[in-house]
Chains A and B, each alone.
Chain A
């Protein structure tokens, strides 16, 4: 078995990242991020005004929401190659990816439904917008555990030539810690922890983008070094 399939799937990640960047830049809801203090009438007016642009990005994201899954799947395979007693961290990683991706899709749907019918009751548009932000910002639990599982498998790797260098584990722990504040966004309407705040929004986007850009070559290197060695079957 060679690593051709892994490499093909891995190289779908850069275009996926480019599309996510495009969606992010074009999304009116993020430029600047809508404040949680807006009244339902203001939210409804915003969705009416930016109806077309919002729906365009919602459709794009609906198509690309799962497009980083191959990158994570390759990571799961590489985690399973680390020499630990079981596949517990690869399994946990895969489940976290499935759950986290679903949360992202639900956020996308909520924004889509909010824009779909501009004359809907403003209370309902506001509720859908709240729900979208909840799903987009708050559920950091899976990505935190996902990164910690990745880190733990690197720390515990007993190979004399480890699959990943140790700094990758530190990097994953740091990313997990920096993403964690988003969970508290539900408690605030203003300040850094609110969903439009510097900790919950700006820091999170910067950390996620940096994470992906750094991890791509790291994973590519691990795959290239795998050669013809059989992956552990999960």
Chain B
């Protein structure tokens, strides 16, 4: 491979992709929390009038439009993590597993639930029971989609722990195991309609958020350091 001589910033591809990560997660937070009012989750035992009222709010559609325009940034964020896993001394199975998890995760855990809420708001006149079904489907898919994230955290955590190239700190691997645990703890949302294990419960939602939000920020910082510290002779365009 013959390279052109001028090379000022050899890691520009990684930095460009990395810059979209905070942008995407900030947007993701804005869409789901203040804009749509979906999060923190409303109660599974809301009364039918409350459900109808919420499902018909216009802000759900605005949130839906922004998300559908930008949800492609989730694959890009995941690709940034994948590149660091690729640098580790572990088999490609780890990054391929995470890759597939993120493909299905984007649909079942993000686009589909958002659409359930958007569909409720799109048209007036649907039966309250139809809106209640969309409400349940939306929240259960959003908070109760587990397996594709289990495989992602499993692959990410294990790759960090098994890696001998010290690409990411070992403690981040053990922290990621807790991400896996939060998925297991969210399983009862498919049964409970109130209490700590309902989809708006202390254990399934708030505990998971306490683990997840700092994790996301810490991963961001660690990945930043990891890209920065990658020696130039290791780069694919070296």
Taking CB atoms, residues of chain A closer than 8 Å to B62 are 187
- 24 A-B residue pairs with Cβ-Cβ distance under 8 Å, sorted by A, are A83-B237, A84-B13, A86-B13, A86-B235, A88-B17, A88-B76, A89-B13, A94-B99, A95-B75, A95-B106, A96-B75, A99-B71, A106-B112, A127-B119, A130-B123, A139-B68, A140-B68, A140-B69, A158-B3, A158-B7, A158-B237, A161-B2, A183-B65, A186-B61
- Identify which of B39-47, B79-87, B178-186, B210-218 touches chain A: B79-87
Q: How far is the CA of A66 from the CA of B82 in the complex (A)?
A: 24
> Is B75's CB under 8 angstroms from A184's CB?
no
CA distance in complex: A131, B100 (Å): 24
Q: Which residues of A contact B236 (CB under 8 A)?
A: 83-87, 232
Instruction: Give the chain A neighbours of B16 by CB distance below 8 A.
Output: 152
Interface SS, B side? helix
Chain A residues closer than 8 Å to B99, beta-carbon distance: 91, 94-95
In the assembled complex, the Cα of A81 lies from the Cα of B106 at a distance in Å of 27
Question: Interface digits, A113-153 against B, CB 8 Å rule (1 contact, 0 not)?
Answer: 00000000001101100110011001111111110010011
Question: 8 Å CB contacts to A: which residues of B162-188?
Answer: none
Q: Which of B1-42 contact A (CB under 8 A)?
A: 1-4, 7, 10-14, 16-17
| B12 touching A156, Cβ below 8 Å | yes
Known A-B contacts A88-B83, A92-B17; the reply to A158 vs B123 at CB < 8 A is no
A159 within 8 Å of B (CB atoms): yes
Are B13 and A88 in contact (CB-based, < 8 A)? Answer: yes
For A232, the chain B residues whose CB sits under 8 A away are 236
Assuming the A-B contacts A91-B83, A103-B107, A156-B13, are A130 and B122 also in contact, with contact meaning beta carbons closer than 8 angstroms in the complex?
yes
Residues on B with C-beta less than 8 A from A131 are 115, 119
For the complex of A and B, 10 pairs with smallest distance between CB atoms: A145-B72, A98-B103, A95-B75, A183-B69, A141-B72, A92-B79, A91-B79, A84-B13, A85-B235, A141-B71
Indicate if B111 sits at the interface (CB-CB under 8 A). yes
Chain B residue nearest to A143 (CB atoms) is B72
Q: Are A123 and B126 touching (Cβ within 8 A)? A: yes
In the assembled complex, the Cα of A207 lies from the Cα of B86 at a distance in Å of 35
Given the known interface contacts A139-B68, A186-B68, the answer about A85 and B78 at a Cβ–Cβ threshold of 8 Å is no
**Residue A102 at the B interface, CB < 8 A?**
yes
- Whole-angstrom CA separation of A124 from B127 in the bound complex: 10
Residues of A within 8 A of B107 (CB): 99, 102-103, 106
A86-B83, A95-B99, A144-B69 are known contacts; what are 13 more A-B pairs with Cβ within 8 Å?
A85-B11, A85-B14, A86-B86, A88-B79, A127-B130, A131-B119, A138-B68, A141-B72, A141-B73, A142-B72, A146-B72, A152-B13, A183-B68
- Give residues in B with beta carbon < 8 Å to A: 1-4, 7, 10-14, 16-17, 61-62, 64-73, 75-76, 78-80, 82-83, 86, 95, 99-100, 102-104, 106-107, 111-112, 115, 118-119, 122-123, 125-127, 130, 235-237
Residues on A with C-beta less than 8 A from B67 are 141
A180 contacts B by Cβ under 8 Å: yes
Nearest residue (CB) in A for B6 is A158
**Does any Cβ of B come within 8 Å of A228's Cβ?**
no
Q: Once bound together, how far apart are the Cα atoms of A94 and B75, in whole Å?
A: 9
Q: Which residues of B contact A158 (CB under 8 A)?
A: 3-4, 7, 10, 237
